[in-house]
Amino acid sequence: MRYLPCLCLFVCLLACSGSVFAADAAGGAVSGKIQQPPAKTQPDVPVADTRSTTVAVIHEGTDNIGARLAMRLKERFNASNLFKLEEKDQPKMRLLLHTMEEFPSRAGLGSVYSITWVFSQSEGHLAYLLARDVGVLTLEGVDALTDSLVQRTDGIGVKYGYLFK
């Protein structure tokens, strides 16, 4: 008998809290606020990178290794989603690649290269120097150097992305 008042009080509290939760779920009549449904999220969907840097590769040189490097650079830029290889007169990053044989008496052994990244608004405007690099290149190192130059071009494109807008 002594537990009867406690039991009645517990049942009343339980009934009241149940009606508050039911009213809140039905539209917020008790609290006066309408709650927004939770935002639908898709945690496993990858986020697409929408940035794209317009580039042009301009090669000067007569050596075979340098020509191969220029061609590989163009192929990689053309195949990548991060770059748009473009020859039209528009704002873009130009890669000025100069190559020559390391030893003219021993053709095909190696090449020296100089690459300069510039931003140009159009053909008639002054180009802005962004970065430069020089080095020696062998036929076996063309792919590794291409990867390195594409990666550096992407970094320069991110750093100076405000110029392309």
What mean pLDDT is predicted for residues 115-133? Answer: 94
Mean pLDDT of the chain: 82
pTM: 0.68
- What pLDDT, on a 0 to 100 scale, did the predictor assign at position 163? 86
Classify residue 47 by burial, with Cβ atoms within 10 Å: 0-12, 13-18, 19+.
exposed
Architecture of domain 53-164: 3-Layer(aba) Sandwich (3.40)
pLDDT of 87 strictly over 90 = no
Taking the CA atoms of 47, 48, 50 and 52 in sequence, report the sign of the dihedral they define: positive
Helix axes 64-79, 142-159, angle to 10 degrees: 50
pLDDT of 80 strictly over 60 = yes
- What pLDDT, on a 0 to 100 scale, did the predictor assign at position 54? 93
Which pLDDT band, with edges at 50, 70 and 90, does 164 fall under? confident
pLDDT of 47 strictly over 70 = no
Domain ranges of the chain: 8-41, 53-164
Q: Which two tokens stand for residue 51?
A: 């940035």
Q: What is the CA radius of gyration of the chain?
A: 32
Q: Are 99 and 113 in contact (CB under 8 A)?
A: yes
- What pLDDT, on a 0 to 100 scale, did the predictor assign at position 104? 82
Strands (E), the chain: 53-60, 83-85, 92-101, 111-120, 128-137
Q: Which residue has the higher pLDDT, 128 or 107?
A: 128
pLDDT of 39 strictly over 80 = no
* Edge-to-edge strand ranges of the sheet holding 111-120: 83-85, 53-60, 92-101, 111-120, 128-137
- For residue 76, the one-letter residue type is R
